[in-house]
Amino acid sequence: MSAAVSSGGTPPGSPVSRRIVLLRHAKADWPQVSDHDRPLAERGRKDAPVAGRRLADAGIPFDLALCSTAVRTRETWKLAVQELPHRPRTVYEERLYEASLGDLLALLGETPDDVADLLVIGHNPGMHALADALAGSVEGDALSRMRRDGFPTSAFAVVSFGGSWKDVEHGVGTLVDYWTPHD
């Protein structure tokens, strides 16, 4: 290893490579309960582990998972995480429920800089709006597929960027992957 490269493999002074994975909860049921307390539907219980396997296939070693406190997001995460080779530290975050784009950007800005790969399990329209807003550039056809298909339940987008979490803003990242259960 050259003296110009730190032990982490990043040259001193260069932006740290980070990834944000935005996972929308699986399909929810509509029983007579508050929106926050809606559980997964049968299809959601089938799709969540599939999303987890696809996340595992992506090979992203998540450092942290932020999960909405809503029942459907917690159930999605419980089923998806079983498919990952490593369970990241998980924080259940009330502010993810019904979060606006501005709320989500502010929340990302609070992420500790020792986190390189972050998974956010949340809701629409926030997950779709955040993926779209962060994507200043795109690899392949991910953005056109996301705009065409919307952001269905169990879908996820992967956005990479360099720098500090405090620098997350519109157009800062590259949309590198977009997946739906229909893919």
Q: Are 176 and 160 in contact (CB under 8 A)?
A: yes
Catalytic residues: 25, 98
3-state class of 25 per DSSP? coil
Q: 68 phi and psi, to 5 degrees?
A: -55, 155
Place of tokens 């399909």: 27
38 annotated as ligand-binding: no
- Whole-angstrom Cα distance, residue 122 to residue 119? 10
- Of the candidates 48, 114, 113, 121, which has an alpha carbon nearest to the alpha carbon of residue 90? 121
Q: Give the sign of the dihedral formed by CA 134, CA 19, CA 126, CA 97.
A: negative
Q: Which amino acid is at 75?
A: E
Contacts of 84 (CB under 8 A, 6+ apart): 52, 55, 56, 62
Q: Is residue 16 classed exposed, middle or buried when 0-12, 13-18 and 19+ CB atoms within 10 A define those classes? A: middle
Binding-site residues from annotation for substrate: 72
